[in-house]
Amino acid sequence: MSVISRGFAGRSDDRDRQVPPGQYLTDDFPVLTAGPTPRIDTKDWRLDITEIDGSKSSLAWEQLMDLPSEDVTVDIHCVTRWSKHQTNWRGVSIDTVLEHLETEAEYALIHCYGDYSTNLPLEDIIDGKAWIAFEYEGDALEPEHGGPARLLVPHLYLWKSAKWINGIELRLNDKLGFWESLGYHEYGDPWLEQRYVGD
């Protein structure tokens, strides 16, 4: 069911670079998906933001591009045990995307093209911790890696950095997303090895 890129080269020597427990470094960027890769033209892309009372606002691609963006260099960690150091992204901070809202929400359910979703505490995507990323290593984000835009939450396992993002649903209570409802950990801290329920 998963799709893994042919570029997946396996373990590299991680003795000189710190990685979370159970992880190993790779110079590749393996592609793993749970279905076909959505291909969304930027003219059709939109991000819907749903408040706890059900009210909605949305951003078209041009509006996202008009917002201040940032260059971000972060390590990323996949639940399948690979880590990649010093990855370079460009995106718009979630703080900027949500700055017009005053919300009592404590959680966010992220929605994506292809019917994927993932849940996060709101505090894990604000205060400079997460971005809507649209470039990787200086180029437009490829569809296989979540383009035209994906969530980037580098302090959690990469499945929380949902590819093909198209919605942020703000919530008072938590609701499990796609992988979480199938037994993945509801939070996903790589340093605590929170891969699956019970970890």
d(CA 35, CA 13): 31
First to last CA, the chain: 24
Amino acid at 25: L
Residue 120: predicted pLDDT: 98
Output the average pLDDT for the chain.
Answer: 91
Beta-carbon contacts of 155 under 8 Å, excluding residues fewer than 6 positions away, are 124, 129, 189
* Homologous superfamily of the 24-192 domain (CATH): Oxidoreductase, molybdopterin-binding domain (3.90.420.10)
DSSP-assigned states of every residue in 67-91: S--EEEEEEEE-TTSEEEEEEEEEE
pLDDT in tens, 143-166: 999 999 999 999 999 999 999 999
pLDDT in tens, 178-197: 999 999 999 999 999 999 99
pLDDT band at 17 (very low <50, low <70, confident <90, very high): low
| 8 has a pLDDT exceeding 60 | no
pLDDT mean over 40-55:
96
Is 64 strand, coil or helix? helix
Residue 132: predicted pLDDT: 98
Hey, which bits of the chain come out as E strands? 24-25, 46-50, 56-60, 70-77, 82-93, 107-112, 117-121, 131-136, 139-140, 150-152, 165-171
| 58 has a pLDDT exceeding 70 | yes
Residue 31: predicted pLDDT: 85
CB 128 within 8 A of CB 93: yes
